[in-house]
Amino acid sequence: MKINDNVIKLDCTKGSYAYAVIGDEGVTLIDTSLPGRGNAIVSELKTYGINLLDIKRILLTHHDIDHIGNAAYFQENCNCEIFISSMDYDYAMGFKKRHGIKKVLGSIMKISIPKSLKQISTDKIGNFSVIPTPGHTPGHTCFQYNDVIFAGDLISSKNGNPTMPPSIMNWNKGKLIGSLQKLSIENVKYICPAHGEPIMVNNNWSDFIKTISNK
């Protein structure tokens, strides 16, 4: 489904949405969803006239398996660059074990690890702004493209409203709330989470921030 002329929500990744952004530099994927969905993503992109080799980069919001699940697939098939925060790099590459229940999930659900990942070292990657938002993971990162923020697991959504991700899945709830409080939504029209549908920014956002800040 197209969010706007440049942004596509990949419906085949429902449950852990990945997004495609069509820009002057080619196509950028935001996350890659659960393992085994690579072919489905390619098929859906073709319906928009996008071929595999049009994908030039992948921006990973964090190291969780349902976000990096097909990163190796795309790197092998289109030789794209893949970026992730330095704080999440070791987890994505398998050098460190994930925290809490994610350690168990990581031992059950095996994934192919990309040959290489680029650690984010700047506040801009092409036309994307890099927004550090630690809390869900140590190096969780949001990305902004024009008036759209790709939120990964910083938030979820339900019935068009923002919600907190399940506490059991968060590395540090206090840092996550702090990241939400600092997130600037000036000139932002959509916030696109992995879990739940894209959120149109309105007064619901300020009400949400007030609610989580008082808990």
pLDDT, tens digit (0-9, with 9 covering 90-100), for 180-193:
999 999 999 999 99
pLDDT category of residue 103 using cuts at 50, 70 and 90:
low
| For the chain, domain boundaries | 7-213
pLDDT, tens digit (0-9, with 9 covering 90-100), for 62-71:
999 999 999 9
Cα–Cα dist 72/128, whole Å = 22
Average pLDDT over residues 101-123: 84
Mean pLDDT of the chain: 94
Q: Which CATH class is domain 7-213?
A: alpha beta
pLDDT, tens digit (0-9, with 9 covering 90-100), for 5-40:
999 999 999 999 999 999 998 999 999 999 999 999
